[in-house]
Amino acid sequence: MPMNRREMLKSSAIMMLGASMPAIAKSGGIWGTDGIGVQLYALDPDLRRDLHGTLDKVAKLGFRSVEIASMHGRTAAQMRAALDQAGLYCRSVHVAASSSVPGASGLTFDDMDKLGEDLTTLGAREAVLPLFQFPKDPKWGEPVPFSSLMRADGSPLSAARYEQMANFLNQAGSALKKHGLRVGYHNHNVEFAPIGEKTGLQILLERTNPRLVDFEMDVGWLVTAGHDPVAWLRKYPGRFNQMHVKDIKASTPVNFHLRQDPVEVGGGKIDWNSILPVARTSGVHRYFVEQDPPFTGPRIDAMARSLAYLRSLPIARGGH
């Protein structure tokens, strides 16, 4: 259906946000040499419908780096070609523990040498486990049922599970080291459920080898769990090297059960002016805008608003 004049003007204005803002991706600053990136999971339905067209829109907004969550049926070489065509590059990829994990798409930890080759083809440097996942193997047991973790009466993962996960990350990190790659772990809010005097994320941080394993802090999920990102960055300097810049509404209840009220960055309760300076000095050097569904309008518009807000912050203009 053709757009009316008002819709055309709105769409044009949003697409011009990236072009009208300073080219932080080129100048470095708070965002590092990669600039502000975007986690493509936020645009997943759009990418399924039109991979090349959506990547072009991402680039026109002013993003240059992306983090991949799905290969969308493409090989690593085909995905790299699509990114190159759009003028985008990938340094980080979310990788499922195994092809047996529900929703696994393309890249898994099943074959470390194949994974290393594919990530090298993509130009990536980091293979991030996006969620507590275990392959179907006798030593791991059956995969964790997500449905139980989403219930308010669901039991948290045990300390033993997190210890197994830490071993898995260490082994994966060691295997990928020969390819010049590192392994990361991305948190949700489940990892903050108390387990005695600790949390699951603490167990992972303390039992993984810093020379092999990094962490990607998802600020939205961390705050959803009732925790302070600044406190975690200061307690574990150098362990969080990537960040998902994600906001949540004030209405989001504190919980550990994968429940969240998402909103564009800058439209929620998170104090980015306090978090980003600490992130910069504690070792975070890649930042990816992300937003979970539901969306109130086109997803690409939400990414544009988040990017515009981040570029308007004092720290992005050399403040703080």
In this prediction, residue 15 carries a pLDDT of: 43
In this prediction, residue 315 carries a pLDDT of: 80
d(CA 8, CA 155): 49
Q: What confidence tens digit (pLDDT) does each residue in 238-268 have?
A: 999 999 999 999 999 999 989 999 999 999 9
Of 188, 206, 205, residue with least CA distance to 258 = 188
Q: What is the pTM of this model?
A: 0.88
DSSP strand pairing (194-195 vs 198-199): antiparallel
DSSP letter, residue 210: T
Q: What confidence tens digit (pLDDT) does each residue in 138-148 have?
A: 555 666 666 66
Residue type, 213: V
> Span 276-300, mean pLDDT?
96
pLDDT over 90 percentage in the chain: 72
Q: Which residues, at least 6 apart from 55, have a Cβ–Cβ distance to it below 8 Å?
A: 47, 82, 83, 85, 86, 88
Is pLDDT of 270 > 90? yes
CATH class, domain 24-315, is alpha beta
Q: What confidence tens digit (pLDDT) does each residue in 214-241 have?
A: 999 999 999 999 999 999 999 999 999 9
d(CA 172, CA 112): 7
d(CA 18, CA 86): 15
- More confident of the two residues 11 and 34: 34
3-state secondary structure of 109: coil
In this prediction, residue 11 carries a pLDDT of: 45
Q: What confidence tens digit (pLDDT) does each residue in 133-183 have?
A: 765 555 556 666 666 666 666 667 889 889 999 999 999 999 999 999 999
Domain boundaries, the chain: 24-315
> Span 189-202, mean pLDDT?
94
Of 134, 57, 40, residue with least CA distance to 92 = 40
Is pLDDT of 3 > 60? no
What would you measure as the largest C-alpha separation in the chain, in angstroms?
A: 61
User: How many residues would you count in the chain?
Assistant: 320
Q: Average pLDDT over the chain, rounded to whole?
A: 87
219 is written with which tokens?
Answer: 């600020």
Using alpha carbons, list the distances in angstroms from residue 226 to 99, 148, 287, 300, 311: 33, 21, 22, 29, 27
